[in-house]
Amino acid sequence: MNTPASRDGANTDSRAGTFATGGVDTASGAGDTHARGAHATGDIVIEARGLTRHFSISAGAFRGKKTLRAVNGVDLAIRRGEVLALVGESGCGKTTLARMLLGLLPASAGTIAFGGQPVANIDRLALARQVQPIFQDPYSSLNPRKSIGQIIELPLRVQGAADPSGWRRQVEAMMEMVGLPARLYENLPSQLSGGQRQRVAIARALINKPQVVICDEPTSALDVSVQSQILNLLQDLRRELNLTYVIISHNLAVVEHIATRVAVMYLGRIVEMADTASLFDHPRHPYTQALLESVLTPDPSKGIPDTHLGAAYPNPVDPPSGCAFHPRCARAMPICSQQAPADTITPTGAIACHLYQESSE
């Protein structure tokens, strides 16, 4: 599989379910995991409703606290076997959302269900057995004092897996699956390349056979040639182990290559969701269009794209009124500064934008 050329808190009750289902059932075609009938409960692995996370931060000496709305009323349903990509500028809430899905960060409001069961009712170890992360930096995510075998074996030890005498065989089998020779079992992370370290991180995440893997920029710290190897490995493992991925990435070429569905986030809210082909071919939200237009091309004569977004990102502590994107939007209307848009079902997914609400009514 070859990678493409690099190009590089509103009313959540009324919106519930629009982004959770993606608006429509997508066809199975090129994105083979866009199963029809995914509204059935059995096809939803993780579902979030009105998910919100606020942080209290200092406003300065003697000025008390202010509220930072990192995630603001997100509705999301992750279907079994799909690859959902979360994209958006730094600070839009992608990683905070991922940490909540992993159970590492409690929600300020809203609910998360895994397999139809509220996460609050699931034991921490039981949830960790089913949902695992792959972190961005393979250099800092591995214990430098542990051998490769010990690192990959640790989840088995923590979960109290049966037959400790067979753990080494399981680890070596997983190493072979991710492309690591068994002779590296006793090596330390410092003796491996960046790509090999990321393969160790993948093996550690998969050793207990989870259902969902959340990947936070899994290739951004790697060379371009190694990135394609890791992406192809993730694709192969997804098919072989029937995995579900949530991918966080700033690299839209990576997203186009691996994702089957894309959710675009802006200031803590999902503003557009669609299957990958539709979103890249026909982006609808002005912010999504700007993201795609911002990708640099190999041709220096084309210069740096002008996305009309400006250099300033809104202050998340004091977000704009109405639609949070309206100060940067070239197509903003008077209503945009007055009222936050409701989520609207479109032929390809769902969108939160006033431009499409009148035509949908």
pLDDT of residue 76: 93
pLDDT tens across 63-72, in order?
Answer: 788 899 999 9
Is the pLDDT at 133 greater than 90, yes or no? yes
How far is Cα 129 from Cα 108, in angstroms, rounded to an integer? 24
pLDDT of residue 276: 96
Is the pLDDT at 284 greater than 90, yes or no? yes
CA-based nearest residue to 324, from 162, 226, 229, 316 = 316
Adjacent-strand bridge partners of 233: none
Query: What distances in angstroms separate CA 197 from CA 191, 235, 238, 264, one per listed residue?
Result: 9, 18, 19, 29
pLDDT of residue 18: 62
In the structure encoding, which two tokens stand for residue 45, read together? 């692995």
Contact between residue 211 and residue 126 where contact means Cβ atoms under 8 Å apart: no
Q: Average pLDDT, stretch 3-20?
A: 46
Residue-wise burial string across 96-135, b where 16 or more C-beta atoms lie within 10 A, e elsewhere: bbbbbbbbebebbebebbbbeeebeebeeeebbbbbbbbb
How far is Cα 212 from Cα 237, in angstroms, rounded to an integer? 12
Provide the pLDDT confidence category of residue 295 given band limits of 50, 70 and 90.
Answer: confident
How far is Cα 258 from Cα 265, in angstroms, rounded to an integer? 18
pLDDT tens across 138-169, in order?
Answer: 889 999 999 999 999 999 999 999 999 999 99
pLDDT of residue 325: 93
pLDDT tens across 228-261, in order?
Answer: 999 999 999 999 999 999 999 999 989 999 999 9
Is the pLDDT at 6 greater than 50, yes or no? no
How far is Cα 95 from Cα 249, in angstroms, rounded to an integer? 10
Is the pLDDT at 271 greater than 90, yes or no? yes
pLDDT of residue 220: 86
In the structure encoding, which two tokens stand for residue 306, read together? 């002008």
pLDDT tens across 178-199, in order?
Answer: 999 999 999 999 999 999 999 9
Q: Average pLDDT, stretch 10-38?
A: 44
Q: Say what the pTM is.
A: 0.85
Quick one: DSSP state of residue 337?
A: G
How far is Cα 205 from Cα 215, in angstroms, rounded to an integer? 10
String of DSSP letters for 177-246: HTT--GGGTT--GGGS-HHHHHHHHHHHHHTT--SEEEEESTTTTS-HHHHHHHHHHHHHHHHHHT-EEE
Is the pLDDT at 137 greater than 50, yes or no? yes
Adjacent-strand bridge partners of 263: 86, 273
pLDDT of residue 25: 41
Residue 67's identity, in one-letter code, is T
Quick one: DSSP state of residue 313?
A: P
Is the pLDDT at 7 greater than 80, yes or no? no
Share of the chain above pLDDT 70, in %: 86
Share of the chain above pLDDT 90, in %: 67
Question: Chain-wide mean pLDDT for the chain?
Answer: 85
Is the pLDDT at 22 greater than 80, yes or no? no
Higher local confidence (pLDDT), 334 or 224: 334
Q: How many CB atoms lie within 10 A of CB 236?
A: 14
Is the pLDDT at 299 greater than 90, yes or no? no
pLDDT tens across 317-348, in order?
Answer: 889 999 999 999 989 999 999 999 999 988 88
Please say whether the dihedral angle defined by the alpha carbons of residues 257, 262, 268 and 272, taken in this order, is positive or negative: positive
Provide the pLDDT confidence category of residue 42 given band limits of 50, 70 and 90.
Answer: very low
- Alpha-carbon Rg for the chain, nearest whole angstrom, is 21
Please give the backbone phi and psi of residue 324, each rounded to the nearest 5 degrees, phi first.
-65, -20
Is the pLDDT at 8 greater than 60, yes or no? no
pLDDT of residue 20: 65
